[in-house]
Amino acid sequence: MRGLFLKIFTLFWIAQSLIFVISTAVIINRRMPRQDFMVDPAQYEQESVEAVQSYNASGCAGFRGYERGHRAMAGLVDATGSLICEQGILNLPPHATFAEGLRAQQVDNDTLWSIPIAAANGQKLVYAVKVPRRWEPRGWWDSITRFASPQLPVAIAVGGLTTFILVLIFTRPVIRLRRAATQLARGKLNTRIRQTRWGSFFEGEEFNALVLDFNHMAERLQWLVDAQKLLLRDVSHELRSPLARLSLALELARGDADTTMGIHLDRIERETERLNQLIGQLLSLSSMEAAESLEKAQRVSLKQLLDEILIDAEYEAQQRDAGVTLQSVCECEVDGRRELLYRAVENIVRNAIRYTEPGSQVEICLRKDESCRTAVIEVSDRGPGIPESELEAIFRPFYRIDLARAAQTGGFGVGLAIAERAVKLHNGRISASNRAGGGATIQIAIPIAG
C-alpha cells in the first residue's frame, strides 16, 4: 500500500507545484516591467543636460557629435513638437506627445523617452530618446526566484502538506480494509473493521458503506463456518454410540454364524472400522480447527519423531512391495505438541505409501533451511503426481483428486487437512509440488526452537 500512497502523493504534489510554477511564470511574463522601463531616470536627465550644452555651443552639429557617442536615435524638439536636431532616424510619430516632466511612451516596438529642458537663450526644448525594446538575457528560473520568492516556495510547501493529508485520507481506509481482509483470509473470522466518529467524518459515506458490507460478510462467513464445524462435531459424536453398539452386536452374531455368514460379518467389521477411523479423524480435525493456538507445548525432536514413524511406515510399505527411506541431517528440535506433529507427518507418509508405485521408494528428508531457523520435512513418492491446478486444494477436507483412484487406495480425504491444520498451529507452512520424473513431494516447514 505504500506504493499506492507514494504514487498518488507524488502525482498530486507535482501537479500542484507545476500549477504554481506555470501560473507564476505567466504572471511574471505579463505583468513584470520590461527591461527598457527599468532604467534610472537620472541617467536620461544628465544626458539631456549635456546634449543641450553641446547644442548651445555648436548647434545641431555639436548635438549630433555628442549623441554619436551615446545614443543611436535622439533629437531636440521645440514646444510645438517640431524636430530641431536629430541623431539617427528618430521618426517621431504624429501622435507623439510631450508633456511636462520625464515621460516614457510606447511607439511601435520602441520606447520614446522625453525630458523637458531649456536652452541657453531660454527656449523650451524637449530632449527625445528612442530606445528599442529588448530584454537582457535572463533564465526563467532566475526571474521566478527573483519576483516570486518567498511566495512560490511557501505555496509549494503548503501544497505538499495539503496533498499529504488528502492522500492519507484517501488511502488510510483502503489500508484498514486490506489488513482486515488479510486477517480474514488467514482464518481469523472474528475480524471486524471498527468505525470511529472522526473516521466516519473524514472517510465519507462510501467507505462507511463498504465497511458495513465487509463486517456483514465476515459475520455471515463466521456463522456459516461455525455452523459447519458444530454440525460436523455433533454428527461425529452421535455416530460413535451406534457404531459401538453395532460392534458389540457384530461380536455376538459371530457366535451363531456359519462360515458363509462369517464372510459377510468380516466385511461388516471392516466397514465399521473404517467408519470409526473417519469419525476419529473428523473429531481431531474439529478440535484442531477450534483451537487458536497450542497449549502445553513442549520440546520435540523431529528426528526421533521420524524414527518412530519409520518403523510403522516400513511395515505398511511392504504390503505394497514398496520401501521407505529416511535421511536426516539434524535433530531439529521444535516447540509444539508431539501427538499433533506425529499425526500430521504420519498422515502424509501413509498417504505417500498409498499412491507410490509398487517397487518404488517413499523418501523422507529432514533438514534445516538456508537460514538455519526452520526445520524442513519433505516426503516424496513416485506416484502419479498431482495436477498443478489442485496443489493447494488437496489440503481441503474431503477433497479428492480422483474418486476412482481414492476408492482403490482408501482414505477419506481428511488426512492432509489434519496435517495442514496441525502444521499451522505450530506456526509452520505446508505445500505440495510435483517431482521431476513423476511423483509428488509434500513439504513441511516449522520454526526451530530458540
pLDDT at 317 over 70: yes
Helix (H, G, I), strand (E, B) or coil at 353: helix
Single-letter residue type at 351: N
Q: Are residues 115 and 203 in the same domain?
A: no
439-446: average pLDDT:
93
- Flag whether 63 is in a domain: yes
Residue 284 domain boundaries: 189-290
Check if the beta carbon of residue 346 is closer than 8 Å to that of residue 424.
no
- Residue 124 dihedral angles phi and psi, to the nearest 5°: -85, 120
Q: Are residues 124 and 241 in the same domain?
A: no
Q: Are residues 122 and 143 in the same domain?
A: no
Sheet containing 323-328: order of strands:
323-328, 361-368, 374-380, 440-447, 429-434
Q: Are residues 149 and 50 in the same domain?
A: no
Q: Are residues 61 and 103 in the same domain?
A: yes
Number of domains in the chain: 4
Nearest to 346 by CA among 324, 330, 327: 324
- Flag whether 177 is in a domain: no
Q: Are residues 160 and 113 in the same domain?
A: no
94 CB-near residues (< 8 Å, 6+ apart): none
**Radius of gyration of the chain measured on its C-alpha atoms:** 48
Check if the beta carbon of residue 328 is closer than 8 Å to that of residue 310.
no
- Domain's final residue, options 243, 267, 290: 290
Q: What is the dihedral of CA 156, 157, 159, 162, to 10 degrees?
A: 170
Q: What angle do CA 376, 380, 384 make, to 5 degrees?
A: 145
Nearest to 133 by CA among 110, 150, 161: 110
pLDDT for position 367: 92
pLDDT band at 204 (very low <50, low <70, confident <90, very high): low
pLDDT for position 94: 66
CB environment 52-84: b (16+ within 10 A), e (fewer): bebbeeeeeebbbebbeeebebbbbbeeeeeeb
pLDDT for position 209: 80
**pLDDT tens-digit readout, 151-176:** 667 777 777 787 777 777 777 778 88
**Pairwise pLDDT comparison (275 vs 147), residue with the higher score:** 275
pLDDT at 97 over 70: no
Q: Are residues 48 and 144 in the same domain?
A: no
- Residue 38 corresponds to which cell in the numbers above? 527599468
Check if the beta carbon of residue 403 is closer than 8 Å to that of residue 411.
no
Q: Are residues 274 and 316 in the same domain?
A: no
d(Cα 67, Cα 78) in Å, to the nearest integer? 18
The helix or strand, by DSSP H or E, that contains position 31, with its residue range, turns out to be helix 2-31
293 CB-near residues (< 8 Å, 6+ apart): 425
Mean pLDDT (the chain) is 77
- Catalytic residue numbers read 237
CATH assignment of the domain containing 238: 1.10.287.130
pLDDT at 294 over 50: yes
**Pairwise pLDDT comparison (199 vs 448), residue with the higher score:** 448
pLDDT band at 135 (very low <50, low <70, confident <90, very high): very low
Could you report how far apart the first and last alpha carbons of the chain are, in Å?
33
260 CB-near residues (< 8 Å, 6+ apart): none
d(Cα 400, Cα 387) in Å, to the nearest integer? 12
Q: Are residues 309 and 256 in the same domain?
A: no
**Pairwise pLDDT comparison (354 vs 198), residue with the higher score:** 354
pLDDT band at 322 (very low <50, low <70, confident <90, very high): very high
pLDDT for position 404: 45
Q: At what angle do helices 2-31 and 151-185 cross, to 10 degrees?
A: 160
CATH assignment of the domain containing 107: 3.30.450
* Range name among 121-135, 138-152, 292-306, 331-345 with the lowest pLDDT average: 138-152
Report the length, in residues, of the chain: 450
d(Cα 71, Cα 339) in Å, to the nearest integer? 107
Q: Are residues 363 and 434 in the same domain?
A: yes
